[in-house]
Amino acid sequence: MKTNIIFTQNDFDVLRDHLLRGQNADEEAAFLTAGTSQTSEGLKLLVREVIPIPDDAFIFKGPAGLTFSPEFISQVVKKCRYEKLSIILAHSHPFSGSHVSFSGIDDHGEAELFPKIQQRVPDQHHGALVFGQSSIAGRIWMRGQPSSTPLDSVGVIGDSLQIYPCSYRTNAGRYEIRETYQRQVLAFKKEGQKLLEQVTVGIVGLGGVGSHVFQQLVHLGVKKFILIDSDAVEESNRSRIVGTRSEDSVRKVNKIEVMGRLGRDINPGVRVIEIPGTVFHNSVAVQLRNADVIFCCTDTMVSRMVLNRMAFQYMLPVIDMGIDIQLGNGGGIHRIGGRVMVVSPDGPCLECMAIIDHDLLTRETATPDEIQHNPYIQNVDEPAPSVITLNGVVASIATTEFLNLITGCLGRPHGKIYHVYDGRKGIVRNVQMRPITGCQLCKDVKALGDSTPLPCILNK
């Protein structure tokens, strides 16, 4: 089982700035509170808060060791017990450079400290990190276990997704670039291609936009996917779903099966987990915890609400897309466009930016009886215009954002923007992502992970 500790970029920077103050500085320490995301494939501790240990809380602090007061530890333990959170102890070895490891003093101190933490916060996993100037090592104290196990990596989510393997790991195996990808590697280097082949991508909705996204990602070299869609192919949507065949609509083949077939045709090494369902169901939504990035390619507000929540509760970047074709009174296209937005766990969220339409959410979640007796709830099943070329443009913008998120190849300066495509004018505008509502939900649920339920309609 893989083990990871996940930070937002902001929290990671705060921690590093506190811990590392030069090679000749004293050791520093901080406690981190964290939520948990645990599946059969792995364990993630999701950092919710960084609590630097101030100078007046130390009994001793020097360049090769430190001890801090039991009173300060007690405050952190009490907080985590009450809030059902994990505790991570982070400290620095400022004299270490590109390789860092726990010292014998660290081993002895943790052997005394963590059994006490486990006794007082018994239902959680806990962890420890040590930072060198350009390296990290870590270990996990699993619930109920008398000793620790090594941590695999530390993930940092900001303008890009960075993975720091822990120092004890060796990457001795050679990585060879397949001839298939030689031309694109010129754009984002060998390291970028390796990252693309390591990440797991979740795609919710494999219709007109989602099928384009999937096809492009497979061509880029992404190998691991979690695909979610409950619908079968119909003749009326074959014109915009890539990879379909004429017999698919006759046989009512599920869209995710079509994508699995398409992916294997492009790259036989692709691994696709096909989930015939919707994220309305908690049992379906939680399977996305194993993803590193999620694409929201659905046209329902309920699924957008659930995935927006996952971005913060489980600290998973969500690339959200919206497409709109408006027809004029006399026929013809009045407006045509799309939106692509990367929702990162350091905010703002879709609720903050008023993207979540609560009137539409009410209509989507209404029962048949409510629809029949409430004149204000209109039919939400009326088909909307959809054109494969527009789907392709928006999907390409979204996939390019993913490429930058994973490889940093665009070198985009810091700052959160989203993209608005105007099909009539043939332009893409960049818009600043600014909160316009008083939403606090994204901050309240940040990194809570499995400790709180997702807002799914059905919990089965």
Query: pLDDT for 141-170, tens place per residue?
Result: 999 999 999 999 999 999 889 999 997 665
Q: Quick one: pLDDT at residue 375?
A: 47
Q: Is the pLDDT of residue 15 over 80?
A: yes
Q: Higher pLDDT residue, 120 or 356?
A: 120
Tokens linked to 278: 């919707």
Q: Quick one: pLDDT at residue 173?
A: 59
Q: Is the pLDDT of residue 130 over 50?
A: yes
Residues 55, 92: Cα–Cα separation, whole Å: 15
Q: Is the pLDDT of residue 85 over 90?
A: yes
Q: Quick one: pLDDT at residue 330?
A: 72
Least confident of 288-297, 339-348, 375-384: 375-384
pLDDT tens sequence across 389-417: 899 999 999 999 999 999 988 877 556 88
* 331 torsion bin: left (phi>0), alpha (psi -120 to 50), beta (else): left
Least confident of 8-12, 193-197, 386-390: 386-390
Q: Is the pLDDT of residue 379 over 80?
A: no
Whether 262 contacts 243, CB under 8 Å = yes
Q: Is the pLDDT of residue 200 over 50?
A: yes
Q: Is the pLDDT of residue 76 over 60?
A: yes
Q: Is the pLDDT of residue 457 over 80?
A: no
Q: Higher pLDDT residue, 412 or 177?
A: 177
Domains recognised in the chain with CATH numbers: 2-165 (3.40.140.10), 179-444 (3.40.50.720)
Cβ within 8 Å of residue 104, ≥6 positions away? none
* Inter-residue long-range contacts of 190-198, CB under 8 Å, 24+ positions, other chains counted: 191/407, 192/406, 192/407, 192/408, 192/409, 193/221, 195/163, 195/406, 195/407, 196/220, 196/221, 196/222, 196/403, 196/406, 196/407, 197/221, 197/222, 197/223, 198/163
Q: Quick one: pLDDT at residue 24?
A: 77
Band (188; pLDDT cuts 50, 70, 90):
confident
Q: Quick one: pLDDT at residue 63?
A: 77
Sign of CA dihedral 398, 421, 335, 361: positive
CA distances to 39, 283, 287, 323, 416 from 310, rounded to whole Å, are: 15, 14, 11, 22, 19
Cβ within 8 Å of residue 364, ≥6 positions away? 300, 301, 302, 380
Question: pLDDT > 90: what percent of the chain?
Answer: 72
Q: Quick one: pLDDT at residue 373?
A: 47
Q: Quick one: pLDDT at residue 377?
A: 41
Please compute the mean of the pLDDT values over residues 370-393 and round it to a whole number. Answer: 64
Q: Quick one: pLDDT at residue 169?
A: 60
Taking every pair of Cα atoms in the chain, the longest distance, rounded to a whole number of angstroms, is: 79
pLDDT tens sequence across 304-323: 999 999 999 999 999 999 88
Whether 240 contacts 386, CB under 8 Å = yes
Q: Quick one: pLDDT at residue 170?
A: 54
Band (241; pLDDT cuts 50, 70, 90):
very high
Phi, psi of 51 (to 5 degrees): -120, 90
Q: Quick one: pLDDT at residue 171?
A: 55
Within 10 angstroms of residue 161's Cβ, the number of other Cβ atoms is: 23
Within 10 angstroms of residue 398's Cβ, the number of other Cβ atoms is: 27
Tokens linked to 200: 């797991």
pLDDT tens sequence across 252-296: 999 999 999 999 999 999 999 999 999 999 999 999 999 999 999
Tokens linked to 44: 């993630």
Residues 404, 412: Cα–Cα separation, whole Å: 8
Q: Quick one: pLDDT at residue 334?
A: 76
Q: Is the pLDDT of residue 381 over 80?
A: no
Q: Quick one: pLDDT at residue 79?
A: 97
Sign of CA dihedral 208, 213, 214, 220: positive
